[in-house]
Structure 1
Amino acid sequence: MSPSSDSRLRKFQLRRATRISLLVPVWFLTLHLLALLLFGLGFLLSRPVLPDIATKSASYSGADVVLPRAFKRAVVVLIDALRYDFITGSGDWDGTYYSDALTTPLMLSVSHPENAAVFKFIADPPTTTLQRLKALTTGSLPTFVDAGSNFNGAEVTEDSWIGQLLSSRGKNRVAFAGDDTWLSLFPVLAHGTYEGKNLTFPYESFNVWDLYTVDSGVTSHLWPLLERKDDWDVLIAHYLGVDHAGHRFGPDTPQMKEKLLEMDTMLKTLVDAIRDDDETLLVVLGDHGMDEKGDHGGDSKGEVEAGFFWYSSRPFLAPVDKAETINQIDLVPTLSLLLDIPVPFNNLGSPIVSAMLGPERNFQTLASAFRIVSEQIYGYRSHHPSFDGTSEVTELYSAASEAWNTSRDYVRISELYLEFQKQNLKTCREMWAKFDVPSMIAGIVLFLASVVSLIVFYAAFDGSIECASDYLDLLAANAGCGALIGLAAGTGLGYLRSRLFTATIFGLAMGSILGFAKALHSLSSVNVKSPVSKWTGLALLSIVLHGILFASNSYVVWEARSLSFLLVSFGFILLVASFRLADTKLRATAVFHSIVFILQSRIAEYPRVCREEQLPFCTSNFYASTASSVSSLPALVVLFGTALAFPAIIKSFLRTSASYEGSAPLWVGTGLRVALVLVALYWTLDYVEADPKSQANVEQIKMYKYVVSRLLFGVTVVGAPLAWFRGVPLCLRVEVTNNQEKIKQAVQDGDVDTASKTSPVSVEIIGFGNTYGSLYMLLFLSIFAAVALCLKPVGGIAMAGMVYQILTLLEVGDALELFASSPIVIPTIIALMGTQYYFATGHQATLASIQWDVAFLFTQSIRPPLTHIALIFNTFGPFILAGLAVPLTVFYKLSPSPRDFRASEATMARVVQAGTGAMIYAGGLTLINCITTIVLRRHLMVWKIFAPRFMLAGATVLVIDVAVVAGTFFAGTAIGAVYDVFG
């Protein structure tokens, strides 16, 4: 075989080894995904929906039935995120700006108590718009998992007052203007016309940086629609400016006051427009409130306490206390009765007492309304299989019905029916917290099996090429065969036990794991070494110590501080080990970087966004203020400083191995610095845009922002990686020295041996000792720049600190020779750092901490995939970088072995082995989280604390696994590029 043919064969074999190596992390990723799916299906249950449609039963008529006079039409104004104190101007939220802005509702309720009233309107969490709209139209309760559909709204298939209105009128007579979420829930509204005239005017809803477009559009259509009042039965106007002002600036800001004053002006005009129309009912409500920072999604007081106000020129209310509280779902039966349509079949709300009593305080009307709604709820219970075993609630209904038939004490009858409705609602809230325990256990067993398999793989796969070539081939073949057998067995068992989906998934995954065990047994040449060296044991202990935090709601709330303690403790262990090094220079290097690691672990604890449960013992410092989502000016100054200093730090690390050569100065010294300066420039423009003084030039500023963000995204995510893959020169410099003079001098001196041994030309490769590490570092830094762009300024600074801390850890690991003695420990600690920096970038294990405004980093509207990439990089950036940093634990200060094909394959095998460290951390942590979650599933804080933390753990394991897969692929490319040069 010719040398060229042999070289091509070796390259082909190396590429094949890379592809086979990718099968390992992909397989474990699949196992984690299936385990997470099983556990999630058992824990995050969705509410069953009945398709039945309500009709008017006999309870709507009869000699004893007296119902309130119906309205001919209704105007429903939904002011998104209208918090209760926004319309009362008092209470615990003592705002400076908003307390006297939206005053019309309270003034009317005081001056005309029979025509108008203000209520505290309690929302059921999750307090996201889509879930609230479902509840406000169907009267049903959401479940926690429903929050995930807020950006993927599905059509409402259950009965609703909108559906009842359309069917009872025989045509679409619902006019609409505002948030287009309504159209995803009720697509029929998109075709709203009457006699050829358009009745529907939707606007895109999620651009939280836009305070004006939607509101101006809604108002511009509202007045013409009011003039065409004979064309519609219900007019819905959904305003978004208050919600967007909260997300962008916070509730207690001049921008919020401006929006509330605008809403007050609109309501005054609206009330004047219907003042002489006693057939029109005006309903003004908030779908949810907002917390002290202007966000929502959770269940804090500010988020669940929305405002509600209604008005009619016709007296229709019994005077009520302005502090009266009602549930949001109570609007559904009340509005249905006031519009003379059937109460939706799935409704769980109760009629609002003051509207049913009326100004005459007629308790017969109230009792009639309660009877109709109770009969509807009883019918729903009768059709729902989940209500078996709740006979005590049914007995309440029987007692109330008997009182209706035998008594004329309408006050007592009303009390009995109301008690039935309250107990039913309580039962439903408890019932939809039931869990599918077998699915949860199946998920835990699968997680356990996958983590054990990871540990065994790490122990057996010693990184030698003999192990790689045999082990990976057999793993792929046996795991595949086992999966097919398990799939067949699981499907058959699931069919017999009526758990087809759970058994099929479980059988598929466990079959592949058993196939893996068979492959391990077949390799008699593989000697499984003990995975518990002192450093490996420390890595596994860190996973356990982190995981047991999930057994306490207090530790989950303060998780960031606990992680800081764990990392600092690990840093002190490194420091002690560093002092034991014999080499003076090596000891000084290791001690210095150990101290830096400890300090950086403490510094990373500083930036924070406090969650509700941490108050008042925590102060947020991530934004300009605790009630704002805008970054502070000092943070921008530090961000510019970071942009200038960080490349110099990277340069110093590369110079320790003489690797700041070749393409490194251009890539790091120029490219990275320019990219980070552009990141700082983007957030400076964002800061200027948020300044009220810049509103005149806001459109021009937005244009500059999008130019900067798109340019930087194109360079960091597309341009730089593409250049890297197409063959960026290595970070090397070749020095050629002519030794002719040296040889001549040796001959003249009579030193024949020196002359004969000296080559006429000597070649020295500068940077050879870190060939792999420096090459991979270029791609890693490009992705870091892209992540930094998607983070708020303080988050970008924190991520630069994370990269610095990773490099210090690599230096210590190199000095202590940890990469060889325990390949798992450094990847595990880096993954642990990923969780710490998740908190340092302004996130918490809560829905409210998701920085949704970053979705519009590149565009003014939602544009996949840019919107999704921005959110993913923003939320999971630390985990992405942690997974991608894994190959550096193998590559750092690693030189190639020229013409040694086996060494290149062995390097790839070591990358795969190191990847198991991060995957063991992510999988083990999620396993412990699942165990604590199933044990604490009846805990008072399960939905507020433990469920969000489980969702974060599930997302973490998938993101880290995917990043490890990507890092393994990139590492294979780097190994191939180096082999092309030195092979």
Structure 2
Amino acid sequence: MAQPRSASSATGTIPAAARRVASAWIEGLSRTSLALLLLIVLLFVHLVSLATFTHGFLLTRLTIPTVSPVYDAMHLPPVAATHSKAVVIIIDALRTDFISPFPPDPPSPHHHNILTLPAELTAAFPERSMIFDSFSDPPTTTMQRIKGFTTGSLPTFIDAGSNFASTAIEEDSLIAQAVADNRSVVFMGDDTWLNLFPDSFSASYPYDSFNVEDLHTVDNGVIEHLFPYLQKERGEWDVLIGHFLGVDHVGHRVGPDRDTMRDKLAQMDAVLRRVVYEMDDDTLLVVLGDHGMNPKGDHGGDSELETSAALWMYSKSTPINHAAHSSAYEEEEGLRKVNQIDLVPTFALMLGLPIPYNNLGNIIPEAFVSTPETFAAAARAVTDQIERYINAYGNSAVLKTFADCRKDYADALNSGEPILAADADMNTNTRVLGALRELWAQFSVTHIVLGVVLLALGVAATVALYLGVRNSGPKWDQYVRMALDTAVSAGASVGSVAGTVAGIYTRQPIQGLQVFFSVAVGTACAVLAAPLLMRRTWSASLTGTLQQAIGPIILLLHALSFASNSFVMWEDRVVGFLLVSLALFHVLRALTAPQASIRLRILGFGILLALLARTIGLSTVCREEQQPYCTVTFYEANGSPKWSVYGLIPFIFMLFPRIITAVLGWSKSYAGPAPVFISLIWRTVILLGALYWTFEWMETWDGLNPARLPLVKGVKLWVARIAMSTTFGLMPYLWASTGLCLDIERETDQTGEREDEVTVLGFGNAFGSTYLLFVLMAFTLVQLVSTPLAQFVLVGTLIGVFAQLELVDSQRDAVLLHAGFADSGASAFAGPRDALVRPSFTDAVPLALLGLVAFFSTGHQAVLSSIQWKAAFVGLDKVTYPWSPLLVILNTWGPTALVALCVPLLAVWNVSPRPNASTPVLAHALQMALGFSTYFAALTLASAASAGWLRRHLMVWKVFAPRFMLAAVMLLVVDVALIVAVAFGLRVTSWKVWRTFKSVSV
């Protein structure tokens, strides 16, 4: 026990010294640095709580690295191989109806009856060709599907996040089995294969898979290398794999209902005809889509069109489809449905390879019913392999399912009839697959509970900080210093105790997430205990007017809605309804205002906010579950973005800047640097943002001369680059180096001589007008990566922010007037013009709802298929890391982050500066930031609790898990945006005001 005690002593001494240093450091921080540190601490607590919860909720499936033994003289294959070589053609996003001889009625001229070779050969040679509608397990992203049809395993929800960061497959696969059997495997196409199977190919020709703007480079590269191998110009081979990406890229680029898709499918038809012509008689041809695509060309979710992937198998001489000649299998009307992973055991047996160890697919019976004995042997081979896997997997429920199956089918297995035995084995395999689908997600209830508890502590701590800052008045920094000092001490102490206990009981200190969890719990608890240490209570803050209560009520209703999958699926309408309700509440409050002018202001801006919420809410994309009660308005019928070029440029270039100047004109703040910044530079940049999408549209315009296409692409590229460089370079420099948005007028007498009195125009909104310029810079970035209709939504969102700011300002005036009447009487009232009104949580709630409305209305939903990949190429001609992913993130989360950057405006809008920095701008801004963060933290807590509690719900992976991921990422985005707002926007604004006061005597 001596060593653990020594470790304990060390862990106790070091934190004690660290706490003293930290306390001294915190004591010396400025107020702005204190506010910034406080937000960073909350971000840390949120990160740890989310990591803890996801560690328990989104676990990856258990994979067993065991490899099935290679067939040898002692282990003969159960059925004779039908082919020695194979050509595998993957046409990315090849939906079943693209090759089906039974297209929907009416068929589309753009993608039906174009790639007709599979249907023609199946009709002409039914014994050597067969087409299936294969079900690709969601998430329908390329990396997961490659894993699926090479290993036979099922994906999990969390796998979708690694689609663009794929790592080597460690489990058994068709590729590994082919290499182990000394087969030569050659690959060309999507470079995802090389990430999954490094050092597995005898030759490879990879191409970048993420450049969805490029429709032909990958396909042309595959064609260039594929046919020399078929013609034996590049040596012998056993398996050729070609992964074409053009169909998928056309879908992402313009959608399936365009002539571009028709041309691409015609090209694929020509390629397949040439492959069939040049391959030899002993080669098996397999053509498949890794997944399908939805009506706008995207994928990733689990809708019928996304999971419907084509599968065609063809043999030039050897029969492979015995269904028509066997009574053991009855052919169905139309295309038969199979699981995509059924290809794995079928392909392995047809080539004489061992079935991969982790396979869960069944055989495709048509290929093996040539004789009853062959059918039975093939089915039994799969059953034996699955039995070995589930025995190693060790799940009692699955083992019980298998045992029950053997009892249920015992008579068939013992009957001696091969057909009956084969049916029994296939039914067993199907039931085991169903059991694994239900139980595949392994939850750690402990981590789920701990994550929810820490999230709840984080919400409680944020509320405590909000109340502490609000009720401490001018001494708010003392409370924050005490809270941070206590949090640092408690976090270090809890971590020290945890390390000591771990050293005593395990002789090894805790590591990683456990350490961070201990520190985060100590930090959150310390923040909650800070009021007690200061001998203060916030009980008085728990009571208030209806104005103060309506915000928490809205939050509570929103959070409770996450317990219902229906409300989650319709959340885009729920948040719009809540925002309109809150705006109308302000309209009702207009009746209590003391003056007619204020009543009209509250009434007008309340109605404006409600109308804006309804208007921008008309832009929407629909979840699959919302049909048939939802109509997509964000995209055209063919899946391409709504185009409004004729209204976009005049509106963006002329009307919107005029709205900004009018808003600043109300407070006489359109002065100083504002005219140059807004009317010249900012107007030019947002015009470039609109022009970018004009050229983007022109690229796919049928009336464009093809010879002009390179010019259009070049101009589009440099338009975006100029806009970005101006936003990151000229605009920040101009904003930081110029003065406040003020103008000084000196009065003169009739003789023209100047008097001493001067009038400072814009003084009453010096903080707000200056900070607004910072927000406008952020607007240009989000606008640039947003499609035309989304740009209209962003404009409406920013106008909605102005409406809420004016509502808060009007209600503040009403409060001051009421206070003045109460103090002085109506007859002698002069108005406490230098008085201040503390903002409330209810003031921040409309902005939180507006941020959510903006997210949904800019074409996003809590589903993977709503990601807009076009944004990855704004200003770039190819995929460039890390910029391309960052642009997609900006497109997805930028609208919410933009609203978060507007939060400090609630504290500074129309608030006059005071000498000696006595205006509590920072305190009120921090209070609003904490309130805004509380809203999103509470939503994340509610979504996590619902997902954890309903983890066995039928809709958990379809509804609750995606909504939790949305809430988690949105919370982190909001936290980061608030940190940026305080660290840059508010700091520079306050510095400019202080510099002006120091240099000018007003």
Q: Quick check: TM above 0.5?
A: yes
Q: Does 1:300 align with 2:317?
A: no
Q: Does 1:823 align with 2:823?
A: no
User: For the structure 1 residues 636 and 826, does the alpha-carbon distance in structure 2 shift closer, same or farther, using more than 3 Å as the test?
Assistant: farther
Cα deviation for residue 440 of structure 1 reads: 1.4
Matched residues in 2 for 1:249 and 1:742: separation? 67
The aligned counterpart of 1:617 is 629
The aligned counterpart of 1:280 is 283
User: For the structure 1 residues 60 and 381, does the alpha-carbon distance in structure 2 shift closer, same or farther, using more than 3 Å as the test?
Assistant: farther
Range moving further from structure 2, 457-466 or 294-303:
457-466
User: Does the aligned pair in 1 maintain the 2:284–2:315 contact within 8 Å?
Assistant: yes
The aligned counterpart of 1:800 is 795
Q: Does 1:578 align with 2:590?
A: yes
Q: Does 1:776 align with 2:771?
A: yes
Where do residues 856-867 of structure 1 align in structure 2 (5 Å cutoff)?
856-867=873-884
Range moving further from structure 2, 879-888 or 414-423:
414-423
Cα deviation for residue 549 of structure 1 reads: 2.1
Matched residues in 2 for 1:626 and 1:32: separation? 41
Q: Alignment partner for residue 453 of structure 1, among 445, 458, 461?
A: 461
Paired-residue identity, %: 35
User: Does the aligned pair in 2 maintain the 1:663–1:731 contact within 8 Å?
Assistant: yes
User: Does the aligned pair in 2 maintain the 1:494–1:504 contact within 8 Å?
Assistant: no
The aligned counterpart of 2:267 is 262
Query: Aligned AA for 2:522?
Result: G
User: For the structure 1 residues 525 and 39, does the alpha-carbon distance in structure 2 shift closer, same or farther, using more than 3 Å as the test?
Assistant: closer
The aligned counterpart of 1:750 is none
Cα deviation for residue 764 of structure 1 reads: 2.5
Query: Aligned AA for 2:205?
Result: F
Where do residues 508-907 of structure 1 align in structure 2 (5 Å cutoff)?
508-524=519-535, 529-533=540-544, 534-623=546-635, 625-632=636-643, 634=644, 636-694=646-704, 695-725=706-736, 727-737=737-747, 761-817=756-812, 820-898=837-915, 900-901=916-917, 903=918, 906-907=920-921
Cα deviation for residue 114 of structure 1 reads: 1.5
User: Does the aligned pair in 2 maintain the 1:35–1:446 contact within 8 Å?
Assistant: yes
Query: Aligned AA for 2:900?
Result: G
User: Does the aligned pair in 2 maintain the 1:536–1:822 contact within 8 Å?
Assistant: no
The aligned counterpart of 2:993 is 978
Q: Alignment partner for residue 215 of structure 2, among 211, 218, 234?
A: 211
Indicate the SS of the match to 1:736: strand
User: For the structure 1 residues 515 and 345, does the alpha-carbon distance in structure 2 shift closer, same or farther, using more than 3 Å as the test?
Assistant: same
Indicate the SS of the match to 1:307: strand
Cα deviation for residue 864 of structure 1 reads: 2.4
The aligned counterpart of 1:354 is 366
Range moving further from structure 2, 412-421 or 951-960:
412-421
User: For the structure 1 residues 213 and 24, does the alpha-carbon distance in structure 2 shift closer, same or farther, using more than 3 Å as the test?
Assistant: same
Write the deviation string for residues 800-823 of structure 1: whole angstroms up to 9, x where unpaired. 100001001100110101883443
User: Does the aligned pair in 2 maintain the 1:845–1:949 contact within 8 Å?
Assistant: yes
User: Does the aligned pair in 1 maintain the 2:602–2:807 contact within 8 Å?
Assistant: yes
User: Does the aligned pair in 2 maintain the 1:121–1:326 contact within 8 Å?
Assistant: yes
User: Does the aligned pair in 1 maintain the 2:555–2:935 contact within 8 Å?
Assistant: yes
Indicate the SS of the match to 2:892: helix
User: For the structure 1 residues 466 and 562, does the alpha-carbon distance in structure 2 shift closer, same or farther, using more than 3 Å as the test?
Assistant: closer
Query: Aligned AA for 2:249?
Result: H
Matched residues in 1 for 2:73 and 2:462: separation? 64
User: For the structure 1 residues 683 and 942, does the alpha-carbon distance in structure 2 shift closer, same or farther, using more than 3 Å as the test?
Assistant: same
Indicate the SS of the match to 2:181: helix
Query: Aligned AA for 2:861?
Result: Q
User: For the structure 1 residues 102 and 57, does the alpha-carbon distance in structure 2 shift closer, same or farther, using more than 3 Å as the test?
Assistant: closer
Q: Does 1:135 align with 2:148?
A: yes
Range moving further from structure 2, 760-769 or 849-858:
760-769
The aligned counterpart of 1:756 is none
Matched residues in 1 for 2:606 and 2:385: separation? 68
Query: Aligned AA for 1:687?
Result: W
User: Does the aligned pair in 1 maintain the 2:460–2:528 contact within 8 Å?
Assistant: no
Query: Aligned AA for 1:183?
Result: L
Q: Does 1:437 align with 2:442?
A: no
The aligned counterpart of 2:418 is 410
Range moving further from structure 2, 485-494 or 443-452:
485-494
User: Does the aligned pair in 1 maintain the 2:727–2:777 contact within 8 Å?
Assistant: yes
Give 5+ residue unaligned stretches, structure 1: 1-11, 194-198, 744-758
Write the deviation string for residues 2-56 of structure 1: whole angstroms up to 9, x where unpaired. xxxxxxxxxx999722111111111111111211112222222211121111104
The aligned counterpart of 1:421 is 429
The aligned counterpart of 2:236 is 231
Matched residues in 2 for 1:677 and 1:70: separation? 63
Q: Does 1:18 align with 2:71?
A: no
User: Does the aligned pair in 1 maintain the 2:134–2:311 contact within 8 Å?
Assistant: yes
Cα deviation for residue 463 of structure 1 reads: 6.7
Write the deviation string for residues 735-775 of structure 1: whole angstroms up to 9, x where unpaired. 334569699xxxxxxxxxxxxxxx95223321111111011
Cα deviation for residue 57 of structure 1 reads: 6.6
Matched residues in 1 for 2:304 and 2:499: separation? 47
Q: Does 1:966 align with 2:966?
A: no
User: For the structure 1 residues 398 and 883, does the alpha-carbon distance in structure 2 shift closer, same or farther, using more than 3 Å as the test?
Assistant: same
User: Does the aligned pair in 2 maintain the 1:609–1:621 contact within 8 Å?
Assistant: yes
Where do residues 302-341 of structure 1 align in structure 2 (5 Å cutoff)?
302-320=305-323, 321=331, 323-341=335-353
Q: TM-score scaled by structure 2?
A: 0.89
User: For the structure 1 residues 549 and 119, does the alpha-carbon distance in structure 2 shift closer, same or farther, using more than 3 Å as the test?
Assistant: same
Cα deviation for residue 482 of structure 1 reads: 1.2
Cα deviation for residue 314 of structure 1 reads: 2.2
Matched residues in 2 for 1:188 and 1:111: separation? 40
User: Does the aligned pair in 1 maintain the 2:469–2:927 contact within 8 Å?
Assistant: yes
Query: Aligned AA for 2:990?
Result: I
Matched residues in 1 for 2:538 and 2:221: separation? 72
User: Does the aligned pair in 2 maintain the 1:76–1:283 contact within 8 Å?
Assistant: yes
Cα deviation for residue 700 of structure 1 reads: 2.0
Write the deviation string for residues 82-115 of structure 1: whole angstroms up to 9, x where unpaired. 1111111534474321221011001111111121
The aligned counterpart of 1:364 is 373
Give 5+ residue unaligned stretches, structure 2: 1-25, 324-330, 816-835
Cα deviation for residue 520 of structure 1 reads: 2.5
Matched residues in 1 for 2:41 and 2:621: separation? 36
Q: Alignment partner for residue 908 of structure 1, among 896, 911, 922?
A: 922
Cα deviation for residue 207 of structure 1 reads: 1.8
User: For the structure 1 residues 785 and 253, does the alpha-carbon distance in structure 2 shift closer, same or farther, using more than 3 Å as the test?
Assistant: same
User: For the structure 1 residues 463 and 682, does the alpha-carbon distance in structure 2 shift closer, same or farther, using more than 3 Å as the test?
Assistant: farther
Q: Does 1:393 align with 2:398?
A: no
Indicate the SS of the match to 2:293: coil
User: Does the aligned pair in 2 maintain the 1:486–1:509 contact within 8 Å?
Assistant: no
Q: Alignment partner for residue 162 of structure 2, among 146, 149, 153?
A: 149
User: For the structure 1 residues 93 and 840, does the alpha-carbon distance in structure 2 shift closer, same or farther, using more than 3 Å as the test?
Assistant: farther
Write the deviation string for residues 876-907 of structure 1: whole angstroms up to 9, x where unpaired. 12210121011101110112112x14x25x32
Indicate the SS of the match to 1:77: strand
Matched residues in 1 for 2:208 and 2:105: separation? 30
Matched residues in 1 for 2:126 and 2:101: separation? 18
Query: Aligned AA for 2:994?
Result: Y
Matched residues in 1 for 2:28 and 2:633: separation? 50
Aligned CA-pair RMSD: 2.6
Query: Aligned AA for 1:566?
Result: L
Cα deviation for residue 589 of structure 1 reads: 2.1
The aligned counterpart of 1:101 is 114
